[in-house]
């Protein structure tokens, strides 16, 4: 199970790096100010998350390394494809929110599992770091919800 957890950490390490590469494009495509701002903030958070993962590997006595994660590659590829097909800027904003939320949900699933495994294996020292990352993903997802609903991105896209 230690190996499985390490594999999971390498998977999310790679995923976070791919996210830092994908977010600038999404920020550039976003028209809604709240959406662009929110994604920018999350890009900064994502860089910090990678640093926290560096610490996690260190605490486990492992060298930080990533392994290909076809799931995140697929999410980003699909995100590029759907965004590329939308001409209407308001509709594009709604698509970007949806694509970003798919990534957040993936990250939430991964961190939730990693925290449970780390607790089970007695790695209490890495639980705190992973929980900070998880909480940031949850907050990012909640903010995207608010942007789509309360801040009117979906309403504008439908009009
Ligand atoms: Fe992340
Ligand atoms: Fe995230």
Cα(117) to centroid(ligand 2), Å? 20
State the ligand closest to the CA atom of 100: 2
148-157 pLDDT per residue, tens:
999 999 999 9
What's the rounded mean pLDDT across residues 113-123? Answer: 98
Taking the whole predicted model, whether its pTM rises above 0.85 is answered as yes
Report residue 130's pLDDT band, with 50, 70 and 90 as the boundaries.
very high
| Confidence category of residue 31, pLDDT binned at 50, 70, 90 | very high
Ligand nearest to the CA of 103: 2
Among residues 118, 103, 110, the alpha carbon closest in space to that of 134 is found at 110
CA of 137 to the centre of ligand 2 (A): 5
In angstroms, rounded to a whole number, what is the distance separating the alpha carbons of residues 3 and 57? 13
In degrees rounded to 5, what are phi and psi of residue 119?
A: -65, -45
The number of the ligand nearest the C-alpha atom of 42 reads: 2
Query: What is the distance in A from the centroid of ligand 2 to the CA of 88?
Result: 26
Say if residues 22 and 75 touch (Cβ distance below 8 Å). no
Q: What does the mean pLDDT of the chain come to? A: 97
State the distance from the centre of ligand 1 to the C-alpha of 40, rounded, in angstroms: 13
Q: For the chain, what percent of residues have pLDDT higher than 70?
A: 100
Structure confidence at residue 116 (pLDDT): 98
Q: What is the pLDDT of residue 12?
A: 98
> Rounded to the nearest whole angstrom, what is the distance from the C-alpha of residue 148 to the centroid of ligand 1?
20
Instruction: Let me know if 36 is exposed, middle or buried by CB neighbors in 10 A (0-12, 13-18, 19+).
Output: middle
pLDDT at 110: 98
Distance 27 CA to ligand 2 centre (A): 14
CA of 20 to the centre of ligand 1 (A): 9
Task: Say how many Å lie between the CA of residue 107 and the centre of ligand 2.
Answer: 6
Tens digit of each residue's pLDDT (9 = 90 or more) over 6-21? 999 999 999 999 999 9
Residue 80 Cα to ligand 1 middle (Å)? 18
pLDDT at residue number 117? 98
The pLDDT tens digits of the residues spanning 57-106 come to 999 999 999 999 999 999 999 999 999 999 999 999 999 999 999 999 99
Q: How far is the CA of 79 from the centre of ligand 2 (A)?
A: 14
């Amino acid at each position: 199970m230690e190996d499985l957890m390490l594999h999971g950490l390498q998977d999310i390490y790679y995923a976070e790096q791919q996210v830092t590469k994908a977010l600038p494009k999404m920020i550039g495509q976003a028209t809604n100010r709240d959406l662009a701002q929110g994604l920018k903030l999350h890009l900064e958070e994502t860089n910090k998350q990678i640093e926290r993962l560096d610490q996690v590997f260190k605490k486990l006595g492992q060298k930080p390394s990533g392994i290909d994660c076809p799931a995140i590659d697929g999410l980003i590829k699909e995100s590029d494809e759907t965004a590329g097909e939308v001409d209407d800027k308001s509709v594009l904003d709604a698509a970007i929110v949806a694509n970003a939320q798919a990534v957040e949900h993936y990250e939430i699933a991964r961190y939730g599992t990693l925290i449970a495994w780390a607790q089970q294996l007695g790695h209490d020292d890495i639980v705190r770091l992973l929980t900070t990352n998880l909480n940031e993903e949850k907050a990012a997802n909640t903010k995207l919800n608010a942007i789509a609903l309360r801040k009117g991105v979906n309403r504008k896209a439908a009009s």
